[in-house]
Amino acid sequence: MVYDPQNIFARILRGEIPCDRVFENDHALAFRDIAPQTPVHILVVPKGAYVSMVDFSAHASDAEIGGLVRAVGHVAREAGLEDPGYRILANHGADARQEVAHFHVHVFGGRDLGGMVRRAPA
Ligand code: 5GP
């Protein structure tokens, strides 16, 4: 899939639309999801143009990958989620219902998150 520079997270990264920013390092930006599904729901995105985990894992530099993973750990720790626990998730493609085609990691927490994967509605 070709990267679309007009996707919503690219526009957030360029400062064209606002976000509730929680953390930033050289390679990643973290901000609150606009429609949180748990009491804490933070998105961590690479600053580089990657469509999804497929693209990011194949083409990002070690520094970019490290920056993103460090950012995920940092925001979860700063949100106080380490002790109660949290979940990270990244959707790729249609079966996972990826909506925004700029790679992002969801950080969910703040309540018991239940089982891992729900069945899709019939
Ligand atoms: P996906 O299904 O692609 O893994 O998740 C996309 C996420 O982006 C959804 O949880 C959705 O609520 C969130 N989202 C979509 N548009 C915006 C936006 O403009 N701002 C923020 N902060 N989150 C958004």
Q: For 28-70, what is each residue's pLDDT tens digit?
A: 999 999 999 999 999 999 999 999 999 999 999 999 999 999 9
* Nearest alpha carbon to residue 56 among 40, 72, 42, 33: 72
Query: Does 58 fall in a domain?
Result: yes
Query: Does 64 fall in a domain?
Result: yes
Q: For 92-108, what is each residue's pLDDT tens digit?
A: 999 999 999 999 999 99
Instruction: Give the residue numbers spanning the domain of 47.
Output: 8-109
Q: What angle do CA 12, 14, 19 make, to 5 degrees?
A: 25
Query: Does 41 fall in a domain?
Result: yes
Among 34, 42, 97, name the best residue to mutate to test ligand 1's pocket (greatest count of ligand atoms within 8 A of Cβ). Answer: 34
Query: Does 26 fall in a domain?
Result: yes
pTM of this structure: 0.97
The CATH code of the domain that includes 77 is 3.30.428.10
Task: Output the residue whose Cα is nearest ligand 1's atom 21.
Answer: 34
Enzyme catalytic residues:
104
Overall number of domains in the chain: 1
Query: Does 94 fall in a domain?
Result: yes
